[in-house]
Amino acid sequence: MAHTVTRITRFNMTSLALGFAFLYLPIVILVIYSFNASRLVTVWGGWSLRWYHEFFNDRAMLEAAWMSVSVGAVSATLATLLGTLAALGLARGERFRGRALFSGMLYSPLVMPEVISGLSLLLLFVALNAERGFWTVTIAHTTLTMCFVTVIVQSRLTSLDRSLEEAAMDLGCDPVRAFLLVTLPLIVPAIVAGWMLAVTLSLDDVVIASFTTGPGSATLPIRIYSEVRLGVKPEINAICTLVIALIAVIIVAASFASKLSSSRGESAAPL
């Protein structure tokens, strides 16, 4: 069986190459053209870092980038805090009433179309007469990303041997110290992975941000989107390349963190 699966045929290789090309060729072209010296996006004019230079002198763009990064960091931190608490409630409180309802409501943003979340948040902020800007986007992103953190942390908690906490209490820890000294160190990698995923999701988002942001506080994706409508500048390619690099670093770090989390901390139970 394994032999037939691993056999490399011409057909397999071709379809694999075509698949990867379909997925990654546009990105590769974007990255290459970000080093283009020409003013025209589609004409190659030799290697240059001109557009990166341009970006770092573009105040509006830098402000948008800073907005995105700070919204990402703040909303991810809030989402991680709330998501971890929710995960603890779901994983440890088997007996509380309405647990199924709570978990269903918690996970609904995973499947809810972003347009609907965005629109309903906009209506809420308008009704509350809240000034739209940094905090409205941050709150919106917190609601969007919290459930992802919960999924990651909860799966880690449920795989964690419950008797570890009992052992800690048996050895003289009150419940709070048992959590801080045993449970928390074991779920930290999952929490870190959740935070990184939340940052990435927040950096990506256009739809919800465009509903909830106000004038003068555009996030980077919104800024890019509005620039592109006026025509693509090679500067956009440079920005996108930087964003891709940032997200790649975060994703790789997150996957390392979750790998670390699953390799250590498995219960000592023999199988």
Partner 1 sequence: MKRLSRCRSTASLRPLSTGGESGLKDVTSSEASVEAAKPLPEPAAPDMPLLRIESVAKSFGNFRAVDQLSLDIRAGEFFALLGPSGCGKTTLLRMLAGFETPDEGRILLGGKDIAPVLPHERPVNMMFQNYALFPHLSVRDNIAFGLKRAGMARADIAARVAEMVALVKLEGMEKRKPDQLSGGQRQRVALARSLARRPQVLLLDEPLAALDKKLRESTQGELMELQRRLGTTFIIVTHDQEEAMTMADRIGVMDAGRLAQVATPRNLYEAPASRWIAEFVGDINLFNGQVMSRDHSRLTVSTSEAGSLTVSELWPPVTKDVVCVAIRPEKVKLSRRAPASDEGGSHGINRLEGVVADVNYLGGVTTYKVRLESGAMVRSSMANTARLDVDAYLAGQRVVAWFTADDCMVLEQ
Closer residue to partner 1 (CB): 132 or 156: 156
Residue in 39, 53, 99, 177 binding partner 1, rule: CB under 8 A: 177
Neighbours of 104 (CB within 10 A): 10
Q: What are phi and psi of 36, to 5 degrees?
A: -75, 140
Closer residue to partner 1 (CB): 15 or 267: 267
Name the segment binding partner 1 (CB under 8 A); options: 1-9, 16-24, 172-180, 224-232: 172-180
CB 24 within 8 A of CB 32: no
Nearest to 90 by CA among 82, 79, 102: 102
Tokens 């975060």 belong to residue: 250
Nearest approach, Cβ of 188 to partner 1 (angstroms)?
9
Residue in 46, 172, 216, 231 binding partner 1, rule: CB under 8 A: 172
Nearest to 151 by CA among 193, 186, 118, 117: 193
Tokens 């809240």 belong to residue: 130
Nearest approach, Cβ of 255 to partner 1 (angstroms)?
20
Nearest to 59 by CA among 223, 210, 204, 203: 223
Residue in 72, 83, 118, 265 binding partner 1, rule: CB under 8 A: 265
| DSSP state letters, 75-117 | HHHHHHHHHHHHHHHHHH-TT-TTHHHHHHHHHHHHHS-HHHH
Residue in 37, 81, 85, 164 binding partner 1, rule: CB under 8 A: 164
Counting contacts by CB under 8 A, is residue 182 touching partner 1?
yes
Helix 59-92, helix 220-229: angle, nearest 10 = 130
Name the segment binding partner 1 (CB under 8 A); options: 32-40, 176-184, 191-199, 226-234: 176-184
The 235-264 contact track toward partner 1, x by CB under 8 A, reads -----------------------------x
Closer residue to partner 1 (CB): 178 or 238: 178
List residues binding partner 1 (CB under 8 A).
161, 163-164, 166-174, 177-178, 181-182, 185-186, 264-270
